[in-house]
Amino acid sequence: MKIRPVPREKDPQADLDSLAGAFAGLSAPEQVTAFLRDLCTPAELEALSDRWKVVPLLRQGVPYREIHELTGVSVTTTGRVARSLDHGHGGYAAAIAATATPASPASE
């Protein structure tokens, strides 16, 4: 009988940290896009993109139903994103800050 290795115990936090490190190691949006396309199914990419798409609308105070009409993203998904924006781990805020366009200096 073939001897099979004993699977290691899962460590979800270490696995997540490893994945986060892989993202952090990428320096260009094209690299991140390629990694996401390799990592995720088309449905997963659509779900992630939908969540990110509603963030600016929520920050502008657009009502959930109007967000749905504008984007096709469900009211339920929009509500989940809103909860994460308000009570999450700060990831959306960090991504918003990292992708914000710097204000141009005032003309003197």
- Residue-wise pLDDT tens digits, 5-37: 888 888 999 999 999 999 999 999 999 999 999
Phi, psi of 10 (to 5 degrees): -75, 140
Residue range 29-76, pLDDT digits in tens: 999 999 999 999 999 999 999 999 999 999 999 999 999 999 999 999
pTM listed for this prediction: 0.81
> Would you say residue 108 has pLDDT above 50?
no
In this prediction, residue 105 carries a pLDDT of 60
DSSP secondary structure letters along 21-86: HHHHT--SHHHHHHHHHHHS-HHHHHHHHHHHHHHHHHHTT--HHHHHHHH---HHHHHHHHHHHH
